[in-house]
Structure 1
């Protein structure tokens, strides 16, 4: 890792509290290499720049500490290449053909065999050989942050390269070994960084995303195309009107007219149609998207038990409309469209290729989280009096009748969960309940979405940022917020803190207010009736700490606010929490 630092612009801090431990993968900490790292403090941008110098090529694992404590996301791998290998990687990445292939041996699934690893900006494809020389695809992994390339230690004297594992958290992991393992890892990492645009703030990511979407459809004219629909049968008529549309048609400006109405579309009719059709598609009463267990949060998810008349083509239409809104927003001006929907975190995560896990239950299905997930995590399952829990999940209909039992692992109904396996169990449960049982619906939605939006572009956002991109911030009136918030605290200090909080909220930008709402409730959108209809109500509770970051319990829409010395400290803590800690989950 090399960084250019101007010493006259920045102050070098010898005792800033930062330290690093660098370890060759599979080896012991290299004290000499660790002590050679330098940390430079940039007083203007309030950043610390770290410079590492490696005397040899290889794979190293680094861990950054501050005052002896490991930083959040402070562990990472350093891929150090020779000059010739670096040139090879850069040449492959800069090639417009993107047919980057490396040979490897597949260790998973029986006898080791020779395979071909093909890497493109969108996916990592593993191909087998037919008749020992004709490549045929075995499987593919999406090139996004949720796909992990895990490097195994290389024994001394074993030669170049080594073993590595590909794991996206959805399909079975693949273990491989290759003499070009380091080149594969470097190519994978560089393409992943390129997919993310090299940007770290939401605004910069959004600008990069819009620019790339415009480039992807630059050859498609934005002429008008007529769209005639029936207001009384909006979804069916909209599906029928667009069923033969090509990609070029979806990129055109829709000239919408409602049957039996005289309105001329100068933009207003189109915006009304977008609003109405998206409102129906994502309304739980329609049945395409529903809440878990009638969750009071009102977040919706693809319905795995949809009525027979709601075919997968409706999910594909929903994906196309979201993609159309993103494309129109990329064009800017009066074309900008937002989707008014309250989508679950786990569904947003699947859109961007992230692996779902049990922590999503807290926001998406708080009833199950409180009644089952917390019990499993906090209970000694090895105790004699503990409830028997097996690797299977029973599915019931709305009347409480058992439909079927799904094994989370092979023969799961006969395998008991214990303390050693309970984390894997709750993750497997999340994989099934949040992803697996609605896989067909999600895949149909993604087919429609990626018609207009390249899937690797969506991977640059996290699920909270994706919601802001698709749904916007909405109108969050501070007066409405204050009138319907529940307060739990007392005393003069508490009143002073609340006054500072409401003043800070007034000074926040719309995006910052949406982030705070998202941090506390799990969603940046309010129900149609505003804060009055938010269930549970937005709560502000005094935290028993001083000067710490605010925390949130999304099951209860509860913000826990510590006390501070000044208004500025409160503002700084709030902004830090909602921008840097927005993906955390509070445990009670």
Structure 2
């Protein structure tokens, strides 16, 4: 009898263990699904509520958004029976569209279609004379790179590379920096399956099963994982780019998706490696942030490029806030004209393109900058981060494999576009005295360099008979040939993180929106998605004053305030409710009331948790003085977590 009781008790204990394990597995699966949802905010509640389609540009906006995110048109609910909801732009409205609205409307100019043999090709939307004129005056080109050595294998001839590496060895940013050799740029930490934390809510990863410094692999190749050597990355990029010939065609691969956001987010979420299994730690000096960051990102092997990253700035410990600050500062450095990585090609639109003179301005390692920047853009897409600057429309199209045509120059370089447009539409071009040549100022001494657009172009005059060839050569040189090696390395880095077929579902405006988010901050939404602690709820005047001040300030200051509080100056694509904490979990914007004293009179931010600590001021004027003082002095880029 006792044996039977023991067996029953043993069976019950086993059942309890099984049930516990099942519950824990369910909890872990629920936690995993929650994390997937955090990386894909567009796939759930926003998508479930549907979209309002803009009547101007046909962009599908989330229903919570009152104005079109692309063109700024006031939205009318799709389910409305009003005439406004069904109306299409009139001829008068089309003639008076802003540049922003025209650009948004043209995003569907090209569409992929399938021919009778099942091959994909580009089809240009339009009809009648306007379409025929567009095809004649501004054909579209897609960019591909062909290995020059393979092109000539069949013929048995050897051709000199089209692109050459600069002969000078000096560089603004040296290949090897021995100033602080003790700081390892990249550490890859992998965790064994049985060492994962028992608490799924734990924000600190377990102790690593393997920690491999940057140079350990060179001493013992059996140690894995290992990182790459920066010198090798630079040399490989130079050799690859040297033999890559840019080829412009009017075809592409890929298939459009009717639901690009859901398709993209669901597939990129699968690429991310769980932080409890592996993460990559980047060590970066604040005073060498650009150089250290680009080197660190470049030496991560492709096998680990989808792992979560933790950034250590100098001697700090990353809890998320530093990583966001690092991303923000790195974006600012890339867009800084003094660093010569990107150049602002359209000041009014504030859009950026690759620097065609980077070899002269940066030096021998310039291709590393574009390879790493491509990886950074890919990581931004992967993690739902937003860039601090907009890429020029032609670059967005090149990324997506969409044909680039002559009218795209208008948003790229308005002055060059107007000049070339005049040449196209007028006669008597020979009187201008121009040749098939481009003059460029290069280097620190602005030495003038002449580039022939065709063989012996400087001695061939442009006239009415050959001006079409001149326009085509100028167009191709400006957008493709002058930056061919930079483009190759940038796209290589980007596609290593996010494969091309996942990006091909977007049009250029959608990609720009996903990369940069919305520039306009909706105060009503911000307020709706804000939490407050008990002390602040009791002091309702302080809450009223705060939101009144936010409404009164210009949008630029709202962006500074958002940056001060969260570490990012842009609203996430999923809106304010999609704000996350340092460990990637949903974390709403929070206002916390604290006691006002002489020693505690300033508003403090805790970007790790998207929180502002607001002293309970005695007047609105007092609060305004402190708040505007913070934003005026541009302390909005830094937080004290």
* TM-score, length-scaled by structure 1: 0.45
Larger-Rg structure: 2
Q: Greater share of strand residues, 1 or 2?
A: 1
Q: Which has the higher contact order (CA 8 A, sep 6+)?
A: 2
Q: Greater share of helix residues, 1 or 2?
A: 2
* TM-score, length-scaled by structure 2: 0.41
